Amino acid sequence: MRAFIVLGHKVPLTPNFSLNDLPGSAGRLDILCRCVTAAFCLSHGIRRDVTVYLVLQNQIVLRFEGTRLKHLNPDERSTAALIQKALKAFTERAGAEIESTPGIFVAAGGLSEALKRVTDEGLTVYWLHERGSPIRKVQLSADAAFVLSDHLEFLPEEEAILEKLPRLSLGPLSLHADHCIVLAHNELDLRGGVAPAPQGV
């Protein structure tokens, strides 16, 4: 099992944004969409052993479960439409967790809730951090969760939650979150134990 927790600091909490303006009115939702694609999409299939948590403004958690996920395509716009649908379902039925489309769950919550969930599932949590240990040189759990931020730095209150986690760095440059996901996956793929479903969407 692998998981990615991505913090979206500016993504709206309601579905009132335009799919034509993901970087603007949707608060850089384009980044989060590419993270979902990087986490799940293989050339011809879906990684079923992955869960993605998009944490929106530390108030809403969108959880994508690879085992159940349907209707996911690699492009930003269609992923954003799924997220918009999830936010619409959430605003209409705030409170209980809702599965807005197969494999996408939305509920109130934040970074702490997402961390608790992956920890309860037995995953080792790593903080992807520019000043971390080089990922190629450390022992890695095959059941790993990685925490990343969107285009903004981690907030002090987020750093306070994360500070005790092991930090991993991926290279000498500061990269986009989705590119970090690609690299983390590849590192684990190369170490073996990969079992993606052949075809899925």
> Which residues of the shown chain bind its own copies in the complex (CB under 8 A)?
19-20, 22-23, 30-31, 34, 37-38, 41-44, 73-78, 136, 151, 170-176, 179, 182-183, 186, 189-190, 192, 194, 196
Please name every residue paired with 124 in a beta bridge, in sequence order, or none if there are none: 144
Closer to its own copies by CB, 95 or 192: give it: 192
φ, ψ of residue 160 in degrees (nearest 5):
-65, -35
Closer to its own copies by CB, 91 or 169: give it: 169
Report in angstroms how near the CB of residue 31 gets to its own copies at its nearest: 7
Closer to its own copies by CB, 32 or 61: give it: 32
Compute the chain's Rg from CA coordinates: 16
How far apart are the C-alpha atoms of 187 and 97, rounded to whole Å? 33
Report in angstroms how near the CB of residue 84 gets to its own copies at its nearest: 14
Report in angstroms how near the CB of residue 22 gets to its own copies at its nearest: 6
Angle at 75 between CA 128 and CA 153, to 5 degrees: 30
3-state SS assignment for residue 143:
coil
Amino acid at residue number 166 = P
φ, ψ of residue 33 in degrees (nearest 5):
-65, -45
Report in angstroms how near the CB of residue 73 gets to its own copies at its nearest: 6
Report in angstroms how near the CB of residue 103 gets to its own copies at its nearest: 20
Q: Number of helices (H) and strands (E) in the chain: give both, helices first.
A: 5, 10
How far apart are the C-alpha atoms of 146 and 122, rounded to whole Å? 13
